[in-house]
Amino acid sequence: SAVISQKPSRDICQRGTSLTIQCQVDSQVTMMFWYRQQPGQSLTLIATANQGSEATYESGFVIDKFPISRPNLTFSTLTVSNMSPEDSSIYLCSVPGTGGKPQHFGDGTRLSIL
């Protein structure tokens, strides 16, 4: 399985600020996914990031709030903009498995907004 590194692993931020989360994969992948897990809740897909094209956002998520970059086949960033306490969540990136294997997840970024 791919090895996924997410940075930072956790952060505490002030409301109104923005934070960029990095996701690095040890192999080239076409698609990368970004999820949000609010406290005590399930995972919700934010967007799919394809290299060389705009990210595709799910209903309820917009580019202005969660801009995504995908500069190459091993790296992506998710920015959480103008944060409010409601953005306190775990943010996870994942990549599709190879050979029909399921998605593999990074350890996530635990974000708290004061």
Partner 1 sequence: GDSVTQMEGPVTLSEEAFLTINCTYTATGYPSLFWYVQYPGEGLQLLLKATKADDKGSNKGFEATYRKETTSFHLEKGSVQVSDSAVYFCALGNQGGKLIFGQGTELSVKP
* Interface pick for partner 1 out of 17, 18, 20, 44 (rule CB under 8 A): 44
Q: How many residues of this chain bind partner 1 (CB under 8 A)? A: 19
* Interface pick for partner 1 out of 29, 94, 111, 113 (rule CB under 8 A): 94
- Say whether residue 41 binds partner 1 (CB under 8 A): yes
- Residues 13-32 binding partner 1 (CB under 8 A) are 31
- Per CB under 8 A, the segment of 16-24, 37-45, 65-73, 77-85 that binds partner 1 is 37-45
DSSP secondary structure of the chain: ---EEEE-SEEEE-TT--EEEEEEESS--SEEEEEEE-TT--EEEEEEEETTSPPEEPTT--TTTS-EEEEETTEEEEEE-S--GGG-EEEEEEEPPSTTPPPEE---EEEEE-
User: 53 CB contacts (<8 Å, ≥6 apart)?
Assistant: none
Per-residue binder mask for partner 1 (CB under 8 A), 71-90, x = binder? --------------------
Q: d(Cα 58, Cα 66) in Å, to the nearest integer?
A: 11
- Say whether residue 70 binds partner 1 (CB under 8 A): no
Phi/psi at 87 (5° precision): -85, -5
- Say whether residue 65 binds partner 1 (CB under 8 A): no
- The site for partner 1 (CB under 8 A) is made up of 31, 33, 41-45, 48, 92, 94, 96, 100, 102-108
